[in-house]
């Protein structure tokens, strides 16, 4: 009886240590996953002003167009995302109607706005018969779209540099009257990419904006799964920027839960991880649509599928989302709000995203984002060119080949930044007579040996908050050198976190060692032999069935206690048949989008089984080494006719 009590106490202790470790790791991942610490990636398309807005400029004429563009500029927006419908611009094959669109492009540039052109929709002559009156459908022949894209890029090559190929093809009806097809869309993207580059070799191509959802296929497909399948179909190398739509829906922008089943503002992290798995970490991600819905008071139209909140909540969430992205995601570039003033039926709930009313009265989100965009905007973690939008130059600076060169002694640069370290990229020779961070002097920089780009650590070990750097040029301002760029770095120390894990691991090893010693006593070893012997005496198919049923109890049970009992049974079964555990791990890979949630934590089946297999293997190793030199057989030799790992099940799983 005392042995049983001892085993239960040790198991209880192991459980407590496991729960504590799980909580520490989960909390750390929740707080820090997706945040870039240390050297940030060098992604030029991410070092741009983030402030953008979706527009429908074609709706305006005369003074209304002027008024809209004035408000957009006054609101601090640098980017406008405008749709250019192929269906309207080439109503007859080979006959392009540019006039209407030339007018709005010219006007947008007149107000110093940069256009993101969305090339989407297909004319009736290019659509398949099954798509009928669905202009969002793709063309029968992708070469027809490529011809239009090339003509468009050639026509606007001096005015537009950013092209988005189609829009949300992972949602019905944006791929017509058929199921979503990431492979087919990839082929359209490839054709569009080549065509745009032929029309304008300097242009940059965005993927279609992928809409967040959790479906696995049919008329709707998860943006995560869609992007994965795009890569499998050969999308890498055929886009310069990934376009996504991280709508906030009913979540707060600070909701850090990460799961394929959560469509919150943290979802860009998962999309970025798909890119990293495919070696595309040098590309930027742009949020081409995002925001929260706030229907006007007294709304009598259709209810909003995204839910609706008060305007003050909408404004706060929007500002916090922009701040979070800039703080944590140096790979995120433009963030285009949905929408300045959408074209829609009067009862369409999309009006809840509008920044202005029908008579151009600004709503609260327009005002609050404008305060952020027009104020002093700091450069966050990332690489920045010398002429970055965040820097302010004082004096007679000139830019040549990306280098800012001072004209006179005393010319200065002011750079607000947020981070713990600031590096300066310079072209030698270069001399600063004074450099300060928050008014405190740092070592003045004088580099005059040789020439070429140098990287200088200007300051490090700063607090993780906003700072202001001021650099004043010395007496050799006429030298050929100058400022080539900046690198803002955010560093963090996780010493306490790793120390906590180390102490927990040490305590766990002690408990496992003591438990192993206790289990090797005759009585517990006897009942373990009986239970293990009964299981291993079953036929292989029966063992597979027992393990499958136990796995089903863990995965499908709505009750936590029953799920934990199933997990305990799995540990015992995988301990005896590690090969079956590994086979089930392989079989579970297709279900990674449907994790098991216990106590608020989600873990996919493949992750759980992989951890379990490794843990039981480690436990066997510990117990086996504890029996070396003892009389009789240890647990690994208890059933010598049963190999530890059966190759046939591994092959079957693969």
Domains contained in the chain, CATH given:
1-37+492-524 (no CATH), 49-374 (3.20.20.80), 382-489 (2.60.120.260), 527-623 (no CATH)
Residues near 90 by beta carbon (within 8 Å), at least 6 away in sequence: 96, 97, 123, 148
The two tokens of residue 100 are 């209407």
d(C-alpha 390, C-alpha 372), whole Å: 13
The two tokens of residue 440 are 């405190």
Q: Count CB neighbours of 558 within 10 A.
A: 6
Residues near 610 by beta carbon (within 8 Å), at least 6 away in sequence: 585
Q: By the 8 A CB rule, do 284 and 43 touch?
A: yes
Most distant CA atoms of the chain, gap in Å: 96
d(C-alpha 644, C-alpha 534), whole Å: 17
Residue 407: the pLDDT is 84
DSSP string, 291-309: ----PPTT--SPPPTT---
Which value, in Å, is the radius of gyration of the alpha carbons in the chain? 30
The two tokens of residue 653 are 């799983």
d(C-alpha 450, C-alpha 369), whole Å: 46
| Beta-strand runs (E) in 280-321 | 284-290
Interhelix angle 522-536/560-576, nearest 10 degrees: 90
Cis omega (within 30 of 0) on the bond before 105? no
Residue 14: the pLDDT is 76
CA distances from 334 to 70, 115, 244, 337 (A): 20, 12, 11, 10
Residue 628: the pLDDT is 55
Residue 404: the pLDDT is 92
Mean pLDDT by 10 residues, the chain (654 residues): 65 78 85 92 95 98 96 98 98 96 98 98 96 95 98 98 98 96 99 98 98 95 98 98 96 94 96 96 98 93 91 98 97 98 95 96 98 92 93 91 88 95 88 90 65 81 94 74 92 89 86 72 59 83 91 83 80 87 88 71 81 83 61 41 47 44
Q: By the 8 A CB rule, do 395 and 404 touch?
A: no
Interhelix angle 182-199/223-232, nearest 10 degrees: 70
pTM over 0.85: no
The two tokens of residue 147 are 């011809």
CA distances from 8 to 92, 546, 560 (A): 79, 24, 20
Q: By the 8 A CB rule, do 435 and 444 touch?
A: yes
Residue 432: the pLDDT is 84
Strands 440-442 and 465-473, bridge-based pairing: unpaired
Question: Which among 312, 294, 314 is positioned nearest to 304, based on CA atoms?
Answer: 294
């Amino acid at each position: 009886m005392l042995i049983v009590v001892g085993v239960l106490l040790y198991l209880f202790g192991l459980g407590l240590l496991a729960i504590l470790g799980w909580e520490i790791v989960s909390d750390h991942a929740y707080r820090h996953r997706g945040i870039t610490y240390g050297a940030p990636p060098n992604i030029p398309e991410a070092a741009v002003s983030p402030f953008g807005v979706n527009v429908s400029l074609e709706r305006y004429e005369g003074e209304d167009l002027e008024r809209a563009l004035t408000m957009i500029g006054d609101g601090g927006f640098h980017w406008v995302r405008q749709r250019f419908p192929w269906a309207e611009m080439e109503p007859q094959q080979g006959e392009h109607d540019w006039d209407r669109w030339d007018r709005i492009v010219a006007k947008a540039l007149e107000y110093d706005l940069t256009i993101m052109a969305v090339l989407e929709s297909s004319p009736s002559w290019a659509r398949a018969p099954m798509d009928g009156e669905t202009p969002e459908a793709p063309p029968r022949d992708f070469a027809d779209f490529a011809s239009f894209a090339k003509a468009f890029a050639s026509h606007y090559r001096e005015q537009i540099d950013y092209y988005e190929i189609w829009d949300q093809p992972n949602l019905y009806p944006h791929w017509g009257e058929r199921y979503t097809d990431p492979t087919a869309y990839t082929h359209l993207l490839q054709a569009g990419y080549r065509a745009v580059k032929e029309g304008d070799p300097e242009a940059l191509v965005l993927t279609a904006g992928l809409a967040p959802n959790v479906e696995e296929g049919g008329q709707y497909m998860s943006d995560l799964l869609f992007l994965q399948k795009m890569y499998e179909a050969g999308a890498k190398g055929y886009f310069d920027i990934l376009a996504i739509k991280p709508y906030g829906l009913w979540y707060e922008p600070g909701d850090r839960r990460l799961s394929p089943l959560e469509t919150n503002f943290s979802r860009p992290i998962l999309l970025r991880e798909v890119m990293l798995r495919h070696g595309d970490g040098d590309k930027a991600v742009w949020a081409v649509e995002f925001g929260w819905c706030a229907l006007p008071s007294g709304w009598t139209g259709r209810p909003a599928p995204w839910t609706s909140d008060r305007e003050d909540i909408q404004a706060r969430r929007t500002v916090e989302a922009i701040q979070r992205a800039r703080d944590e995601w140096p790979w995120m570039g433009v963030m285009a709000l949905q929408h300045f003033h959408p074209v829609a039926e009067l009862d369409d709930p999309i009006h809840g995203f509008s920044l202005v009313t029908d008579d151009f009265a600004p709503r609260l989100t327009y005002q609050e984002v404008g305060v952020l965009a027009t104020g002093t905007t700091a450069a966050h973690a990332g690489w920045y060119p010398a002429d970055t939008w965040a820097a302010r130059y004082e004096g007679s600076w000139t830019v040549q080949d990306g280098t800012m060169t001072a004209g006179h002694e005393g010319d200065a640069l002011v750079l607000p930044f947020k981070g713990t370290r600031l590096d300066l990229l310079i072209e030698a020779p270069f001399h600063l007579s004074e450099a300060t961070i928050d008014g405190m002097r740092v070592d003045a920089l004088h580099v005059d040996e040789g020439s070429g780009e140098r990287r200088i650590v200007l300051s490090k070990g700063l607090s993780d908050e906003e700072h202001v750097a001021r650099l004043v040029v010395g007496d050799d301002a006429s030298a050929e050198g100058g400022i080539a760029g900046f690198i803002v770095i955010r560093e963090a120390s996780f010493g306490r976190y790793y120390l906590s894990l180390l102490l927990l691991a040490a305590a766990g090893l002690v408990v496992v060692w003591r438990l192993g010693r206790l289990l090797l006593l005759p009585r517990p070893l006897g009942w373990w032999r009986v239970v293990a012997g009964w299981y291993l005496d079953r036929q292989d198919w029966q063992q597979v069935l027992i393990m499958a049923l136990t796995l089903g109890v863990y995965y499908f049970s709505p009750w936590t206690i029953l799920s934990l009992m199933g997990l305990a049974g799995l540990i015992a079964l995988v301990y005896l048949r590690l090969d079956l555990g590994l086979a089930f791990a392989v079989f579970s890979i297709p279900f990674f989008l449907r994790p098991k949630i216990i106590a608020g934590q989600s873990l996919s089946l493949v992750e759980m089984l992989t951890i379990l297999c490794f843990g039981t293997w480690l436990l066997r190793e510990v117990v086996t080494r504890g029996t070396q030199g003892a009389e009789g057989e240890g647990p690994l030799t208890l059933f010598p006719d049963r190999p530890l790992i059966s190759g046939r099940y591994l092959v079957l799983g693969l």
